[in-house]
Structure 1
Amino acid sequence: MAATLVEENTAAGNNSRQWSLLGDDILNMIIDKFDNIYDYARFGAVCKPWLSFSHRFYYQKKHLFRANHQLPLLVVPMEGHQQIRGLYNIATDTLCNQIQLTLPYKRCCGSSYGWLFFVDNKSAEIEFLLINPFASESERSLIKLPPILCYHTVSQMDEYGVKKAVLSKDPNEFPNDFEVIAIYGGMKVLAHYKSGDQFWSYPKPTRKLQCFADVIFYKGMAYAVDSHSWIVRIYRKRFKKISPSGNSSPCYLRFKTINQKLSNTSFVNYSGNAYLVETCKGELLHVRRDYWTLEESMAIDAENEAEERRVQAEYEARTQEEHNEIMERIERESENQNVEDYEIMASKVSEVLFDEPHLSVNFTVFKLDYPLSKGQKSTETLNGEILFIGDNHSVSVPSSRCPNLPPNSIYYTDDYIDVYRHNIQFGSCDTGLFNIDNKSFGKHFVPSFSAEGMPPPIFVVPRYRIK
């Protein structure tokens, strides 16, 4: 019916003002078919009455979009514009020309509830800027968080000093009840911030290696995973004694193990990246992303074992006194062994990836049984859902919401930062999709220009609300 009226108006030569005369019942029929903000933006651009109507409709129906997991859009670089980013709709393979985002010309290290995380590296500390380019005039569009104290090694104080940051809730809806967890530093440790706090909270200092890959807020709790399948629940606990200077958080972070850590001395057990994703049915998935084939991982393990045997042979060839001195030194430094193992592994990785870009070679998905039981089970299906992972807060969308996309697929962006800036020189090339059913790879966003040196794309789920 709406299409008929459009054709009649066009044939009669009426100008765009005639669109404002359409009744609410017809507009309801049109807008009820929308899936994401891309459709709302195009609809609202027709005329002011349609813009007002789209806001009213979304305000009434927005709970449906949250329940059904809205399709993310891709924030992409624009050729010839450093401060401007575009929004790309992977379902329609089109760039939304009606929306252009003014953002810092640097890597975005997090995306949650329409907010984008950037590191403000004007100081010698890591400070976050939260930018919401979709906020209305009555809402906050910029939040600056307190600086993170770099107790751990941070070789870069810019946007690559942070692995990822996520929000628990939308700060515009819950200004006094949102939390942030960031993964930062060379060892990828955690920091936690709660709205209203003056300082971040950190784990107690430890010599154990805690190198996390992803975090998620799930059913009111926070969880983190590392690249060796160690999954923990995160909670804050107050110090028994508070610093008299009052210049630090009164709380620290503690972890409860949900899934046991695999051996971190075996490269076969290592995944280049790992993610936690909540499905549309409320289940929790663990996704492992590999940049090396099994054969390559086994070769690295074999090389490490050969090096260990060579060193051991040298120890045994020396005098007993020298051997004892060596063993004493090894015993003194044993608590640092995890860090040394990580450095050896990172060195091997650098050698493999030095001359060419890294590309994903496989994804493995596990379903977590917690809280019914600890552990996880591998799964060969996503039950028709589609995952969106990368630097963004991981998202799952039912395939019924995006029939143009293959079900049981994982859409991913380039987010591997272990080798500093490595893939950026190639144009952030590890962006694509992986089909769980047939283990095949494909592409989604391929720029028509050279993206070398530009900030990598990132998925975002805009929060579209009444003004």
Structure 2
Amino acid sequence: MNPENYVVVALYGRFFMLAFIKAGQNNWTYPIPTGEFDDVIFYKSKVYALETYGEIESLDVFSSDSPRLKLCTPYKPFPSCKFLHAYLVESTKGDLLHILRFYASSDGHFRYDARQQTTHFIVYKWVYEDGGSIGHKVEVKSIGDEALFVGGNHSISVLASKFPECQLNSIYYTDDYFSNWPTLHSDEPFDMGIFNLEDGTITQHYSPHSNSQRAIWVVPLFNGL
């Protein structure tokens, strides 16, 4: 929309390294230090990158100096890393939500060499201290009228009341686990559904037998988020 003023941030490679490029540049910039990331988001005019162990690092892509990632939450902020994926989402109220996604294989235990099925999600909100720094996290038991969309692309939150067929207080998710293990599974999506935060139930929004390739959420430009 504005070809003279934009920033694109990407996670690339099998282990999801971070890079960005700005308008007028011919080459990508690779911040220091490098790391493995689960997700990245623009929030409060900064880039926040989510490390695989749960900590969040900030990046000022508008700085003229050599960009460096800055740790802004405690190291390993969660007591257990048994979840496999995590996401950062800005709520419709402007809160920074941290979503943990938990898996199990068909026998109820997690194994990297088995096809995984999502069992549940836990949602946290990061609370900001005076001065704008991230302070602490609190668990969110309900997101009210909101619905979260997470998976192998930028995650979003929408007001369910704006969309008649959208379930409120729910998390819609796509299958973004098996894409890292192409030798184990085909491209057919397997683990896709809707998790209800109130009662913990999971329903399907997609048939796993439709012979389609893995899916991402497509977010058009529209009002009403």
Q: Same fold (TM over 0.5)?
A: yes
1:211 aligns with 2:36: yes
Alpha-carbon distance between aligned partners in 2 of 1:442 and 1:412, rounded to the nearest angstrom: 11
Match of 1:446 in 2: 207
Alignment-mate amino acid for residue 125 of structure 2: K
Give the superposition deviation at 1:447.
6.0
Structure 1 residues 373 and 235: CA distance shift in structure 2, 3 A: closer
Match of 1:274 in 2: 86
Alpha-carbon distance between aligned partners in 1 of 2:153 and 2:44, rounded to the nearest angstrom: 19
Give the superposition deviation at 1:184.
1.8
Structure 1 residues 417 and 211: CA distance shift in structure 2, 3 A: farther
Alpha-carbon distance between aligned partners in 1 of 2:88 and 2:170, rounded to the nearest angstrom: 15
Match of 1:234 in 2: 59
Match of 1:260 in 2: 74
Give the superposition deviation at 1:366.
0.4
Q: Deviations over 1:341-376 (max 9, x none)?
A: xxxxxxxxxxx243x421112211000112364121
Structure 1 residues 404 and 263: CA distance shift in structure 2, 3 A: closer
Give the superposition deviation at 1:256.
2.2
Q: Deviations over 1:8-41 (max 9, x none)?
A: xxxxxxxxxxxxxxxxxxxxxxxxxxxxxxxxxx
Give the superposition deviation at 1:296.
4.0
Give the superposition deviation at 1:223.
0.7
Alpha-carbon distance between aligned partners in 2 of 1:182 and 1:435, rounded to the nearest angstrom: 30
Give the superposition deviation at 1:418.
6.6
Structure 1 residues 205 and 257: CA distance shift in structure 2, 3 A: closer
Alignment-mate amino acid for residue 55 of structure 2: W
SS at match of 1:282: coil
Unaligned 5+ segments in structure 1 are 1-172, 240-251, 298-351
Give the superposition deviation at 1:216.
0.7
Alpha-carbon distance between aligned partners in 2 of 1:285 and 1:446, rounded to the nearest angstrom: 28
SS at match of 1:291: strand
Alpha-carbon distance between aligned partners in 2 of 1:196 and 1:272, rounded to the nearest angstrom: 37
Question: Higher strand fraction: Structure 1 or Structure 2?
Answer: 2
TM normalised by structure 2 equals 0.84
Match of 1:435 in 2: 196
SS at match of 1:367: strand
Give the superposition deviation at 1:443.
0.5
Q: Does the 8 Å CA contact 1:227/1:270 hold for their aligned counterparts?
A: no
Match of 1:163 in 2: none
Unaligned 5+ segments in structure 2 are none
TM normalised by structure 1 equals 0.43
Alpha-carbon distance between aligned partners in 1 of 2:133 and 2:116, rounded to the nearest angstrom: 38
The CA RMSD over aligned residues, in Å, is 2.7
- Number of residues paired by the alignment? 217
Larger radius of gyration between Structure 1 and Structure 2: 1
Q: Does the 8 Å CA contact 1:234/1:254 hold for their aligned counterparts?
A: yes
Match of 1:201 in 2: 29
Alpha-carbon distance between aligned partners in 2 of 1:424 and 1:416, rounded to the nearest angstrom: 10
Question: Higher helix fraction: Structure 1 or Structure 2?
Answer: 1
Greater RCO structure (CA 8 Å; 6+ sep): 1
Match of 1:184 in 2: 12
Give the superposition deviation at 1:272.
1.2
Match of 2:144 in 1: 383
Mapping 1:374-413, distance limit 5 Å: 374-413=135-174
Match of 1:459 in 2: 217
SS at match of 1:400: helix
Give the superposition deviation at 1:185.
2.6
Give the superposition deviation at 1:219.
2.5
Give the superposition deviation at 1:422.
5.5
Q: Does the 8 Å CA contact 1:285/1:367 hold for their aligned counterparts?
A: yes
Match of 2:182 in 1: 421
Picking from 331, 351, 363, the partner of 2:121 is 363
Alignment-mate amino acid for residue 183 of structure 1: L
Structure 1 residues 188 and 202: CA distance shift in structure 2, 3 A: same
Alignment-mate amino acid for residue 456 of structure 1: R
Structure 1 residues 422 and 385: CA distance shift in structure 2, 3 A: farther
Give the superposition deviation at 1:273.
1.2
Match of 1:10 in 2: none
Alpha-carbon distance between aligned partners in 2 of 1:192 and 1:426, rounded to the nearest angstrom: 28
Structure 1 residues 460 and 176: CA distance shift in structure 2, 3 A: same
Alpha-carbon distance between aligned partners in 2 of 1:446 and 1:428, rounded to the nearest angstrom: 9
Give the superposition deviation at 1:234.
0.9
Give the superposition deviation at 1:419.
3.7
Give the superposition deviation at 1:188.
2.1
Give the superposition deviation at 1:404.
2.8
Alpha-carbon distance between aligned partners in 2 of 1:439 and 1:357, rounded to the nearest angstrom: 21
Alpha-carbon distance between aligned partners in 1 of 2:59 and 2:82, rounded to the nearest angstrom: 22
Q: Does the 8 Å CA contact 1:258/1:375 hold for their aligned counterparts?
A: no
Q: Among the aligned pairs, what percent are the same residue?
A: 33
Alpha-carbon distance between aligned partners in 1 of 2:183 and 2:82, rounded to the nearest angstrom: 20
Alpha-carbon distance between aligned partners in 1 of 2:77 and 2:49, rounded to the nearest angstrom: 18
Match of 1:306 in 2: none
Match of 1:288 in 2: 100
